[in-house]
Chains A and B, each alone.
Chain A
Amino acid sequence: MNKVVTQPGSTSWVRFLVIVGLVLGALFAGLPVLWMLVSSFKSNTEIFAYPPRLFDESFSFQAYTAVLTDPQKVRYFVNSYLVSGLVTLCTLVVGIMAGFSFSRYNFRFKRVLNLLIIGVQSVPPITLMIPYFGLIVALQLYNTYWALILTYMVFTLPYAIIMMTGYFNTLPRELDEAVMIDGGSSSIILWRILVPISLPGIVSVGVYTFMLAWNEFLFALTLTRTNDMRTVPIGIQLLMGQHSFEWNQMMAMSVLGSLPVLILFLLFQRYFIAGMAVGSIKG
């Protein structure tokens, strides 16, 4: 009896604590981002104005127009979209094929190959870095899009393969058999039957791949030389290296550079969160 009496009181107390916790957490996560946003609308002289203000009289899109009318900075964005898009496309095609192989066939070295592919995920990028430069030059890929695309696939493929194998494993083999009885080949099974059903999984792998490629820094820095090959993360660093810090432009570029990932995430968050949960358990 006693319990029933105390419960309403304790729930409203819990309710209060939860709301306080939620708000504090949101401030921790959101305030820095809010500051990025408001700084991108300031003029560079007002970035460190004392006392700091959320909105200055000088509120303007000046930093955005400066970034978007500079052909070099626009090129960074074009490069990032192109490279990330192609990485996503190639990773999906290659990863779907490999996942199909692991899910539907038994063959020699299957276990070893599977382990090796999982192992690649834990290879530190910096370990590959030193011989990489020479290798990319030898392959005549230095300072090209393909240098970046193929390199990023080394890091995106393992995750894609693990995820796709997992997805295909959940699809009943009766589907394959029905196609085989009708005289269909393995490629029809894969591309006409399994791929359309696995679309949620493919979308989550695709979004993850795009984000990884969009964000990469170390190899983009080392494998490209000219400004027409640089991507957004490098472009932001270059803004920092120049004689003066154009903080408002850096923030505007950061906002613009984060939009694609944010939009992708908001559009596909349901698929994505589900996919990530599977990934983090099955990994």
Chain B
Amino acid sequence: MLKIRKQLVPFAYLSPTLILLSVLSLIPIATVFYYSLMDNVIITNVPPQFVGLSNYQEILSDQNFIQAFEHTIILALASVIAHFILGLAFAMLLNTKIIGPITKALFRVVYILPWVFTASIIAVLWRLLLNPNGVVNFVLSGIGVANAPIEWLASRQLALPSVIFINIWAGYPFYMVSFLAGLQGISDDLYEAGKIDGAGTVALFRYITLPMLRPIIVSLAMLDFIWTTHQFTLIWMTTGGGPVRASEVLSTFTYKLAFSSYEFSLASTTAMVILALSTVVAFFYVRNQRLANE
């Protein structure tokens, strides 16, 4: 009796977590999977009907879906690469011994600023900045780059690049902060030893800094890839996926399919595709963590 009670203790501590996550996460996932195999779900007078994988066939041959998929991958890859470069560059700048600790602290706060703002605030801020009559166009025409007001968010060519830029601005501090902590963990002795062996700045970076940061780089890149493929608010509130799908990503595509076209079965199918994409990356992420911890 006592033994059984003892075995139940860890589950007692886990029970709130398990109940919450099963009701609000496992059940919805099971439901959305079920919906993706059915027709006529949620709002309909006809009973739901099992259709197998035909929703998947329909979605995967839909040009608009493929386009949204491509945009999502472009957005995610461009963001990950730019976040990495900016994050590492800023972290290294902040890690130099050239500036004093107080100046350093001030710069660090300024560099972290974009991260303090939520996506909806970032969206309205950049809508103000990138407005055709806004300050960005004023500066660009002032230095002679542009002679007519540029429609950053409302033109088909520029909407996606603009959204990518905004996402880059919003997301690099997370990398920077992690790299800062990582850089501070690299012992000065390593650099001293490298210098004695005659290594220059580039070689020190290439053979000491990068390899030492590698575990952080890999986890950050994968996490960021997953998060960016989930990004909804920023796109929804800047371009809404438009104009004419020019900046449509999987999350806005799914949202519109569900909540403006009421195609819940098809929306569930695209939701499953996004889940699959995230799960694949997450699988490698977890495996990478395991390897790093062992």
Residues of A at the B interface (CB closer than 8 Å) are 14-15, 18-19, 21-22, 25-26, 28-30, 32-33, 35-36, 39, 47-48, 50-52, 94-95, 97-98, 100-102, 104-107, 110, 113, 115-132, 134-135, 150-151, 153-154, 157, 161, 186, 214-215, 217-218, 222, 233-234, 236-237, 240, 247, 250-251, 254, 257-258, 261-262, 265-266, 269, 273-274, 276-277, 280-283
A110 vs B13: C-alpha distance in the bound complex, in angstroms?
13
Kindly list chain A residues whose C-beta atoms are within 8 Å of the C-beta of B223: 280, 283
Question: 14 A–B contact pairs at CB < 8 A?
Answer: A22-B94, A29-B111, A30-B113, A48-B131, A97-B17, A101-B13, A122-B281, A124-B275, A126-B271, A128-B28, A128-B29, A130-B267, A132-B24, A282-B289
Q: Are A113 and B14 in contact (CB under 8 A)?
A: yes
What is the minimal beta-carbon distance from B196 to any residue of chain A, in angstroms? 11
What is the minimal beta-carbon distance from B78 to any residue of chain A, in angstroms? 17
Select B110's contact among A29, A39, A51, A121, beta carbons within 8 Å.
A29
Contacts known (A122-B226, A122-B278, A128-B29); A236 close to B138, Cβ less than 8 A: no
Select A240's contact among B124, B181, B229, B293, beta carbons within 8 Å.
B124
What is the minimal beta-carbon distance from A91 to any residue of chain B, in angstroms? 10
Kindly list chain A residues whose C-beta atoms are within 8 Å of the C-beta of B282: 118-119, 121-122
Query: Chain B interface residue count: which class?
Result: 35 or more
Q: Are B233 and A25 in contact (CB under 8 A)?
A: no
B107 contacts A by Cβ under 8 Å: yes
Interface string of B32-72 (1 = CB under 8 A from A): 10010000001000000000000000000000000000000
Kindly list chain B residues whose C-beta atoms are within 8 Å of the C-beta of A128: 24-25, 28-29, 32
Contacts known (A15-B98, A218-B233); A124 close to B268, Cβ less than 8 A: no
A161 vs B17: C-alpha distance in the bound complex, in angstroms?
9
Q: Are B232 and A126 in contact (CB under 8 A)?
A: yes
Kindly list chain A residues whose C-beta atoms are within 8 Å of the C-beta of B186: none
Kindly list chain B residues whose C-beta atoms are within 8 Å of the C-beta of A32: 114, 125-126, 129, 169
B120 contacts A by Cβ under 8 Å: yes
Within residues 214 to 242 of chain B, which ones have a CB less than 8 A from any CB in chain A? 215-216, 219-220, 223, 226, 229-230, 232-233, 237
What is the minimal beta-carbon distance from B174 to any residue of chain A, in angstroms? 8
Q: What DSSP secondary structure best describes chain A's contact surface?
A: helix
Select B113's contact among A29, A110, A116, beta carbons within 8 Å.
A29
Q: Are A157 and B21 in contact (CB under 8 A)?
A: yes
Q: Are A98 and B13 in contact (CB under 8 A)?
A: yes
Q: Are A105 and B10 in contact (CB under 8 A)?
A: yes
A261 vs B113: C-alpha distance in the bound complex, in angstroms?
10
Q: Are A157 and B129 in contact (CB under 8 A)?
A: no
Q: Are B118 and A233 in contact (CB under 8 A)?
A: yes
Q: Are B116 and A265 in contact (CB under 8 A)?
A: yes
Q: What DSSP secondary structure best describes chain B's contact surface?
A: helix
B11 contacts A by Cβ under 8 Å: yes
Contacts known (A237-B237, A262-B116, A280-B219); A124 close to B274, Cβ less than 8 A: yes
Contacts known (A21-B93, A215-B118, A261-B116); A122 close to B271, Cβ less than 8 A: no
Kindly list chain B residues whose C-beta atoms are within 8 Å of the C-beta of A233: 118-121, 233
A126 vs B18: C-alpha distance in the bound complex, in angstroms?
22
Kindly list chain A residues whose C-beta atoms are within 8 Å of the C-beta of B178: 276-277, 280
Going nearest first, the 6 A-B pairs with the smallest beta carbon separation are A277-B181, A215-B118, A105-B10, A122-B282, A131-B31, A101-B13
Chain A residue with Cβ nearest B36: A130
A234 vs B7: C-alpha distance in the bound complex, in angstroms?
46
Kindly list chain A residues whose C-beta atoms are within 8 Å of the C-beta of B286: 115, 118-119
Q: Are B220 and A280 in contact (CB under 8 A)?
A: yes
What is the minimal beta-carbon distance from B20 to any residue of chain A, in angstroms? 6
Chain B residue with Cβ nearest A128: B28
What is the minimal beta-carbon distance from B251 to any residue of chain A, in angstroms? 5
Q: Are A154 and B131 in contact (CB under 8 A)?
A: no
Kindly list chain A residues whose C-beta atoms are within 8 Å of the C-beta of B140: none
Chain A residue with Cβ nearest B175: A280
Given A101-B13, A240-B237, A258-B121, 15 more A-B residue pairs with CB atoms under 8 Å apart are A25-B93, A30-B113, A33-B113, A33-B117, A101-B14, A106-B10, A123-B278, A124-B271, A127-B28, A128-B24, A130-B35, A130-B42, A135-B24, A217-B120, A236-B124
B96 contacts A by Cβ under 8 Å: yes
B255 contacts A by Cβ under 8 Å: yes
A277 vs B289: C-alpha distance in the bound complex, in angstroms?
14
Chain B residue with Cβ nearest A109: B11
Kindly list chain A residues whose C-beta atoms are within 8 Å of the C-beta of B250: 126
